[in-house]
Amino acid sequence: MNEVLKTIADRYSCRDFSATQLTKEQIENLVTASLASPSALNLQPWHIIVVTDKSLIDEMDATAMETGKSNNEPWYDRIVERGGKMFYNAPCMIFIMSDGSNYATLDCGIVSQNIALAAHSMGLGSVICGMARIPLSGAKGEEYKKRLKFPEGYEFGMSVCVGYANSGKPPHEPDMSKVTYV
């Protein structure tokens, strides 16, 4: 099996990160992978925000968890069972901002997959995290957007938590019943 197919087959969603920060080179490689993503009409409807400020990540995490608890969200107990951290103690989060154009949602998803695969190929763990939108849409949302330096005209598209995995797990088993050949 070639290296790309092996990376795809072996990648899993990491939910247990160590506190070790990524190097500047690792972050630059992840950013390069994100910007190499294809997009509809090559419009590149994204803006990438790399966050390594652990206190900001933890603050947003706590806000999201408070929101989940107070709103009795169905995901809250699951996150608590996994350690009580929505961002799983990740030392780095990469936010993929969307310009809201026609294909931006799809294109931001492609960027997140490029980041996740690049991270795995570099020996890092990652988890694609759409729930990072929760602290951005609550009472502190505008404050967080300012602190994250959201560019004007952009909205949350997706995020990816990245770091060194404390523990591993096997990737999910492919479900061939989801495939039809014509």
Average pLDDT over residues 127-156: 96
- Let me know: does 46 contact 157? Beta carbons within 8 Å: yes
3-state secondary structure the chain: CCHHHHHHHHCCECCCECCCCCCHHHHHHHHHHHHCCCCHHHCCCEEEEEECCHHHHHHHHHHHHHHHHHCCCCCHHHHHHCCCCCCCCCCEEEEEEECCCCCHHHHHHHHHHHHHHHHHHCCCEEEECHHHHHHHHCCCHHHHHHHCCCCCCCEEEEEEEEECECCCCCCCCCCHHHCCCC
Structural domain includes residue 180: no
List the domain range (segments joined by +) for residue 151.
Answer: 3-164
The CB-side HSE value for 20 (13 A sphere, CA atoms) comes to 12
Task: Tell me the one-letter amino acid at 34.
Answer: S
Number of domains the chain contains: 1
- Let me know: does 98 contact 154? Beta carbons within 8 Å: yes
Q: What pTM, to 2 d.p., does this model score?
A: 0.95
User: What's the mean per-residue pLDDT of the chain?
Assistant: 96
Structural domain includes residue 177: no
Structural domain includes residue 172: no
Alpha-carbon torsion 134, 140, 144, 150, what sign? positive
Structural domain includes residue 94: yes
Task: Tell me the one-letter amino acid at 138.
Answer: G
pLDDT attached to residue 71: 94
CATH number at residue 154: 3.40.109.10
pLDDT attached to residue 109: 97
Digit-coded pLDDT (tens) for 91-129 = 999 999 999 999 999 999 999 999 999 999 999 999 999
Q: What residues pair up with 152 in beta bridges, in sequence order? A: none
Structural domain includes residue 178: no
Give CA–CA dist 51/54, Å, rounded.
Answer: 8
Structural domain includes residue 50: yes
Identify the band that residue 141 occupies on the pLDDT scale cut at 50, 70 and 90: very high
Digit-coded pLDDT (tens) for 150-160 = 999 999 999 99
Structural domain includes residue 182: no
The encoded tokens of residue 20 equal: 């070790």
Structural domain includes residue 169: no
